[in-house]
Amino acid sequence: MRELDDALDRLHHDVRTADVPLDAVRARVLAAAAASSAPKRARHARWLAPVAVAAAAALITGVVVLDDGAGQQPAVAGTSSGAPAATTPPAVELLSAREYLTRAADAITAVDQPLAAGQYRYIAAHEWNRRGMMIGTSVDEPAAAPSGYAYLVESRTETWIPQDVTREWLNRRTPLAGAKWLGGTVPQSEAPLPEPDVTAKGERRGACGDFFPGSLPEKVCGDPADWDNPDFYAPLPRDPRALLQWLRDLTAQRGSTPTVVFHFGVQLLHTGLVPADLRASLYRALALLDGVTVADGRANLDGRVGVAVTIEDVHERRELIVDPATGDFIGERTVAGPQPHEPYIEPGTVTGYSAITTKVVDGLGETG
């Protein structure tokens, strides 16, 4: 099993060679963070997106061409498309990552929709994750180029959380049919798609979201230090700089680099449980990090368009997708950099993404 400590220590080298549940991963987080009194990670057996190293120390201005009202983007000056020049100048906004995240924070309503008795918070993640195989690697040849292959595979993870979190939750994991060849040192015809891990499919129930009883560390129902528990978020600071310091303290064992802090901020958002006021503060806190930039002004995840705010290095970039008009966290995405760790993956290739939907439903198992 791949573990978070190894992924961070090696900066996502040899990433995602199998479907890996986060039970062991989060156990490692607990152990690593104990010395700095960091709160416990909850356990959801799902992919953990990799981290990247910040490449710049200053916020870089992003250019977004706004919709022209007819569902099309106007032509951009300086390009050669063979079409006549637009008669009216396009609407262009020049915004930095900090400005985008601040705008998103400002757009968030003060209160989330509350849960009534019998209702559930439904969190769905439509995901494409890397799955593959490393071939012929050896500790005796540390300098050898990686050999292997990788696919991008599709899945859906759904979780229903009751108003009283000590009651029964439902988690459903469904492998889907989608599979895309990312590349390899062998032909695709010689590269069978690995089967998903047993924890990556099926339906499980458990009070307090304890879907894998018997796993270590033991999940304590109602533990306020478990970030599956909504009570975990109540005492966290709402001041962006204080919240950023909390994130740095949380990640002290990993060096508290902007990359690692950004990574953990995205992981918090991925839970779907961060309340509106804290989500606004988290956006503002992440905007203070060095190296945060705008990568894509029209990032599309499952038909929802937002802004990709990112930290990156030559190997990979990690993206937080946010709708600045509503403040919604749309999801996350990873993209291979100019020098991917796996030389058989082309630069610029999308190597994973999760589109997140959160809503309130009236019954366990209902989706709308």
The Cα–Cα gap between 313 and 103 comes to 26
* Nearest in space to 366 (alpha carbons), one of 196, 157, 189, 120: 120
Answer for the pair 143, 132: CB distance below 8 angstroms, yes or no. no
**Selected residue with higher pLDDT from 272 and 11:** 272
pLDDT at 195: 87
Q: Cα torsion at 137, 139, 140, 146 (round to 10°)? A: 30
Examine the pLDDT at 20 and tell me if it is beyond 80: no
And the tokens for 183?
């590349």
Q: Which of the four pLDDT bands, split at 50, 70 and 90, describes residue 225? A: confident
pLDDT at 306 over 50: yes
Which helix (H) or strand (E) element contains residue 242?
helix 240-250
Residues 195-213 have a mean pLDDT of 91
pTM of the predicted protein model: 0.71
pLDDT digits (tens, 9 = 90+) for 47-74: 333 333 233 322 223 322 223 233 333 2
How high is the mean pLDDT of the chain? 76
Cis peptide bond prior to 217, omega within 30° of 0: yes
User: Does position 254 have pLDDT exceeding 80, yes or no?
Assistant: yes
Report pLDDT digits (tens) over 129-174.
999 888 765 555 555 677 899 999 999 999 999 988 889 999 999 9
